[in-house]
Amino acid sequence: MSRNGERASDAESADGADPVKATSPVTASAGRLAILSGFAVAASAIPIPFIPERLIATVRGSVAQDVAARHGLSLTRDARDALAQARGESPARLLAKRVVGLVSKTILKRFGPLGVLTGAATSLEVFALGHLFERWIEHHRGSKSVRIHEGEARRVRALIDRATVHALSPSVTAKQLPTSAAVEDLRDEFTKYIDAVLLASAGLPGWVVRRLETAFDEVVAEEGHVAE
């Protein structure tokens, strides 16, 4: 019997109790998460009201499902919805955002600064959900249950939303990666400048990830969710 089959059998035989949590992730998710974040950006560019939000929610649900499954966990339907849905805004404000988004996409031809900014924010939100949900499971989740229910999902989503905002705070200090200077640098000044710009641009995603992780750990600590 496969490992997944054993977990399912354990779940059915525990008199309604959730089975014990199993294993670490089977495969790394960085590449898949980046692609899913790109899907969300593409969905946000659709100039039709209500459609982008539904598609982005579907992508968020897929991200959460993928993270949970790779760690041997399952999501109830309500838990997946809690992780996938838009949060923190009233229906009226969401409607206003849809209208503004539609205007910006049609007037600016989807290539203006507002469109770029919206796409970047959507990508960051989806990436943060997947990366920080995984960090919660690996470092902060105290429950040994295989099944994640709505209550836990809502708490985790609230922590992720807070951490995403907190990551923009000047008080957050991202962990610095160790660097070493070359024994001899024979580049001219212009080449040094070009290399610095290219390397800084290439390191930006990693810097954002480190800030998200630091912000998330701080938010979790403030909430008292200590890893067991």
Per-residue pLDDT tens for 29-75?
567 777 777 777 777 666 666 677 788 888 899 999 999 999 999 99
The answer to whether the beta carbons of residues 17 and 146 sit under 8 Å apart is: no
Q: What is the pLDDT of residues 102-141, one digit of tens each?
A: 555 554 444 455 555 666 777 888 899 999 999 999 999 9
Let me know: does 156 contact 83? Beta carbons within 8 Å. Answer: yes
> If pLDDT is split at 50, 70 and 90, which confidence band does 223 have?
confident
- Does residue 2 surpass a pLDDT of 60? no
Region label for 109, one of left (φ > 0), alpha (ψ between -120 and 50) or beta (otherwise)? left
Structure tokens at 64: 């959460």
Residues 6 or more apart in contact with residue 49 via CB below 8 angstroms:
98, 99, 102
